[in-house]
Amino acid sequence: MALAISDSLDGFGPSLPLIFVSAFLGLFAIVILHWTTSASIPVINKYSGDFFLKKAHAEFLTNCRKLISDGVAKYNGPFRVITTLGSRVILPARFADWVKNCKDLDHVQLVADEYFAHYPGFDGNGVVVDPSRMMINVTKTKLNQNWRKSITMSISSPRLTSTYEWSSKDGNWRPVPWGQDVARYIGRMSSAVFVGAELARDAQWQHLILTYTINLFNGVRALRTWPRFTRMFIHWFLPECRTCRKQLALARQLLQPVLMKRREAINEAINDGQPPPMFDDTIAYIEEIAAGRPFDPAATQLAFAIAAMHTTTELLKQTLVDICLHPELINPLRNEAKDAIAQHGWTTAGMFQMQLMDSVIKESQRMKPGSLVNLERKALKDVTLPDGSLLPKGTNVAVDTANMWNADIYKDPAVYDGYRFYNIRKAGGSASNAAQLVSVNSDFIAFGLGPSVCPGRFMVANELKAALATILMQYDVRLPQGKRPQIMYYGFEMLSDPTTVIEVKRRTD
């Protein structure tokens, strides 16, 4: 296990000279950013007189979809967007396959450098980029093989999900704050798979894993405003970075008793000559995959939180909203789920049989992927793009996701069609496999592409089908009269409406 990170500097507050030095260096950073973004690749959100990038940032945060479509139309090649996390070169969607195969564009290096994976408190990112790839291997192998037991447990034990909070046996519709509730739903369901039932029920653990990603991004943003050479000491003082360190310490504190209890149970069984108890969650899986190599269980759990919580929450949130917006889907989905469970139970075969559900989730993801750009990569050396333009070493790039709304690829792309991928699958032929939720290709890059493609997507498919099947079999669902949740844009992010309320009524059949 890695050494505990010292938080001993956390008591120091910033002094007056430090504030002056900070202000000067901050200004210096802005000027440098302004210079560096003036390099040969054109910038789409550069405005005369905008020395402090105020307008550039405001446009990025509030108007990014248009910035990207303007950039693609204007340059038909790479262009830069100034973001609140530095500048990013956007590549047109047609380069997706090329990026996938380019060994000099690297995802891990981008996460390591740009998301400060090696800074104390940012250890969750450190685990994702660790060359041992232990967490990635656990996701690829153990999680995808053993999802069933853990998810079944979370479904059959209603205290782990939030559905018990919805239960109203009086036969009336009641409003549920879905925009907020869904994070707790996924938090509990995923935690059952990650850390087991005991911690999954712990309110402090839930709060920790649902807030760490936000705090980590706040930390990254705060640190980015400082020049590179100051970051290695300034991070000790920034409140946002301190919060991340405190959360890592809390994760260790909460995990420790669980680890001790397991160790004792194993030792007891061995002493009694009994087979040691087996645990079906990532705490146990990572130990098995590590096979004696050192690892940090708390940081590993934070890595799962970063990769899994916000992403899965967003997809489930939007899919149920889309189902409510298209109520004609509800009965077919419910019947499909009932048949699948009746025939196969909560098994891989049962989940596979939910092909309309698969299609509906994929359609929701097509229309609202998590991000306007994907395939974030760093150039490990100077790279020449297929159109001849040069990406200098160290450039951070991302690919426009616009193929997912491209009329040449998807008929009537602005129309939600829950049967879109179902029909392609049923038609058979070469397109059939690509129509599955877990399939990725250059026309559908919401889970990435190439060596860093999301290894958690198989778990996502099963988890979301299990969650939606449970909800639809237990409840009637609808949106309140006249309400239509709106997709929100925040920088590159596409977010499902956090204020969404749905109405639910307990079914009696």
- Footprint of ligand HEM on this chain (CB under 6 A)? 107-108, 128, 135-136, 139, 143, 304, 307-308, 311-312, 315, 370, 374-376, 446-450, 452-456, 459-460
| Neighbouring-strand partners of residue 505 | 476
Query: What's the closest the beta carbon of residue 55 comes to ligand HEM, in angstroms?
Result: 29
Phi-psi region of 292 (alpha: psi -120 to 50; beta: other; left: phi over 0): left
Query: What's the closest the beta carbon of residue 57 comes to ligand HEM, in angstroms?
Result: 24
> For residue 119, how many other CB atoms are within 10 A of its CB?
21
Kindly tell me the burial class for residue 178, based on how many C-beta atoms sit within 10 Å of its own C-beta (0-12, 13-18, 19 or more). buried
Query: What's the closest the beta carbon of residue 138 comes to ligand HEM, in angstroms?
Result: 8
When the beta carbons of 13 and 131 are compared against ligand HEM, the nearer one is 131
Q: What is the DSSP letter of 380?
A: S
When the beta carbons of 208 and 460 are compared against ligand HEM, the nearer one is 460
In the block, which residue shows the tokens 């009641």? 174
Query: What's the closest the beta carbon of residue 378 comes to ligand HEM, in angstroms?
Result: 11
In the block, which residue shows the tokens 């098995």? 288
CA-nearest of 222, 285, 326, 230 to 24 is 230
3-class DSSP assignment, residue 230: helix
CA-nearest of 357, 397, 355 to 377 is 397
DSSP code per residue over 250-298: HHHHHHHHHHHHHHHHHHHHHHTTPPPPP--SHHHHHHHHHTT----HH
Which phi and psi angles does 133 have, rounded to 5°? 50, 30
Query: What's the closest the beta carbon of residue 465 comes to ligand HEM, in angstroms?
Result: 13
Distance CA 432, CA 64 (A): 33
Alpha carbon of 316 to those of 270, 364, 396, 416: distances in Å? 42, 9, 30, 16
Rg (CA), the chain: 24
When the beta carbons of 151 and 307 are compared against ligand HEM, the nearer one is 307
Residue 52, amino acid: F
Cβ neighbours of residue 127 closer than 8 Å, sequence gap 6 or more: 134, 135, 295, 296, 299, 300, 302, 303
> For residue 11, how many other CB atoms are within 10 A of its CB?
7
Query: What's the closest the beta carbon of residue 136 comes to ligand HEM, in angstroms?
Result: 5
Query: What's the closest the beta carbon of residue 143 comes to ligand HEM, in angstroms?
Result: 6
Distance CA 158, CA 164 (A): 6
When the beta carbons of 135 and 333 are compared against ligand HEM, the nearer one is 135
Q: What is the DSSP letter of 395?
A: -
When the beta carbons of 136 and 469 are compared against ligand HEM, the nearer one is 136
Which phi and psi angles does 176 have, rounded to 5°? -130, 130
Cβ neighbours of residue 361 closer than 8 Å, sequence gap 6 or more: 315, 319, 437, 461, 464, 465, 468
Query: What's the closest the beta carbon of residue 455 comes to ligand HEM, in angstroms?
Result: 5
324 appears as a binding residue in the annotation: no
Q: What is the DSSP letter of 442?
A: T
When the beta carbons of 283 and 315 are compared against ligand HEM, the nearer one is 315
> Where are the extended beta strands (E) located within 104-243?
105-106, 174-176
When the beta carbons of 286 and 356 are compared against ligand HEM, the nearer one is 286
When the beta carbons of 255 and 286 are compared against ligand HEM, the nearer one is 286
Distance CA 307, CA 3 (A): 23
Query: What's the closest the beta carbon of residue 313 comes to ligand HEM, in angstroms?
Result: 8
When the beta carbons of 67 and 460 are compared against ligand HEM, the nearer one is 460
When the beta carbons of 241 and 315 are compared against ligand HEM, the nearer one is 315
Query: What's the closest the beta carbon of residue 375 comes to ligand HEM, in angstroms?
Result: 5
CA-nearest of 430, 341, 398, 338 to 85 is 398
Query: What's the closest the beta carbon of residue 161 comes to ligand HEM, in angstroms?
Result: 16
Residue 225 contacts residue 29 (beta carbons within 8 Å): yes
| Cα-based torsion angle of the residue sequence 195, 196, 200, 204 in order, rounded to the nearest 10 degrees | -50
When the beta carbons of 259 and 453 are compared against ligand HEM, the nearer one is 453
Name the binding residues for heme: 454
Name the binding residues: 454
